[in-house]
Structure 1
Amino acid sequence: MNFSASIASIAAFSLLTATSVEAVPAGTLYEAFPTQLFSLDLGALTETGVISARATHLVAAGDHVFWQDDIRIWRANKDLSGVTNIWTNLRAPADISVDPTGTYLFEAFPTQLFTLDLRTLTETAETSAHATHLTAAGGYIFWQDDIRVWRAKSDLTEITNVWTNLRAPTDITVDPTGRYLYEAFATQLFTLDLDTLSEIAVTSAHAGNLTATADHIYWQDDIRIWRARNDLTDITNIWTNLRAPTTIAVGVPPTTTAVPETPTLLLLAVGLLACGLLRRGSEGI
């Protein structure tokens, strides 16, 4: 192998080995009680924040938690610092949701569904709908209307009935990718694949306040918080309270890939290769 080829081989090896990825955070559990809101680190199982708040319809999006207090919508960091009133209505919504990026706020009223852009604080879309259990996921907003589950784009176009039941679920949610639909009934919890419109799994559970991450489904059963995989295996009681929360949410920050530093060996290899090419070029003049 000639000198230039050797240097190229060293450079290629350096590029292949100079990678590193940050560990995925375990996530944050948010729990609302009548006059308090708590955040807990699911990895360490420790309390990370508590504030006074009358919080309903908790929504976790990235590193933030959103909630409704009557006509006002609030946002805070995952440790419940930086509490901000981001939107105020003339009347109280029946339900709210926020897309996973924290960009769009969705609000349901008895016969209407709205989209608001939180960057500009402007209303961007409106449609007629009897919408409950709002869940923003995968670039869509999902909602329940009795036995039917509907989906629309963030601008409330392309409204589609994606699933119809024989009876109305007590709660629904959708994973952040928009693929898995979870439905709770009185004593059962189901997972459905919306790509194939097929049932994946079912388990016995008194499941309320469903909330999903990319890999897991979380739910509340009185004072206990439970977690399972998408296929409802590995069911685990992850947290137990002294009293039952009024609502819960779970947030997992987006996975980030660390930008690797350029290795010294690679810089040296590139420099030597460049010198070799320059010398070869000068000899040919």
Structure 2
Amino acid sequence: MATLTLHDVHITLTGIPIVSGVDLTARTGQRVGIIGPNGSGKSTLLRAIYGHLPLRQGSILVDGEDLSRLPPRRAAQLVAALPQETHSDFDVTVYEMAAMGRTPHKRPFAPDTAGDIGIVTDALTHTGVLHLADRRFATLSGGEKQRVLLARALSQQAPVLVLDEPTNHLDVRHQFELLDLVAATDTTVLAALHDLNLAATYCDHVYVLAAGHLVAHGHPHTILTPQLISDVFGVHAHVTTTPDTGAPHLILRPGTPSRTG
């Protein structure tokens, strides 16, 4: 496990500022969520962390190692990702897809070792898709694909795991199942989440982005207030407590509460 630290991160796309001055820390073993409305910069920020976008300013560190200064192979040994959209142009099996996670640890075109096979098999077992190992990845359902892609990320054995809307397009049961699998890992997790109640349930710490700026962060109990939800998302929120877990539960409806005082 490792600590992920972002300091004064700025990202521009085609000259337009998308993320401005973000400081963020995901400490060893924490599950940290990023929430915010569409267009707030969540996915852009995560893409910079796993190396798909450059920074205009700032730094991204994993236990003090600056990812922007590392060779791609070393950076991939430190950060694994489950992107929001993954397309495979190759007719690969489930096992072959998961085994791609071993690439940062091997020489080019080197065959899988017994150790690689064991790591991939364990990841497929952990995510509940080992029985699909010989299936073609393209034939799987959306939930099955997400599990395989998570197995690929776990096979990478990076101390930091970045998830971009991991429950997107999944039904309710598969949303919970996937996040339960993530919660059972011993990695440091940073996840952009669209569903505020999932963030409240699964995250130890939450960062809130709006228009590319960090506007709040803290434990879900202290951050997910009706006023913040109104200010950031433009909806009314009634916040209760989930009886069995004690996590905040938000009941949302259109409209914003009037300010008092």
Asked whether the two chains share a fold, i.e. TM above 0.5, the reply is no
Greater per-residue helix proportion: 2
> The TM-score by the shorter chain falls in which range?
0.3 to 0.5
Q: TM-score, normalised by structure 1?
A: 0.31
Q: Which of 1 and 2 has higher RCO (CA within 8 Å, sep 6+)?
A: 2
Greater per-residue strand proportion: 1
Q: TM-score, normalised by structure 2?
A: 0.33
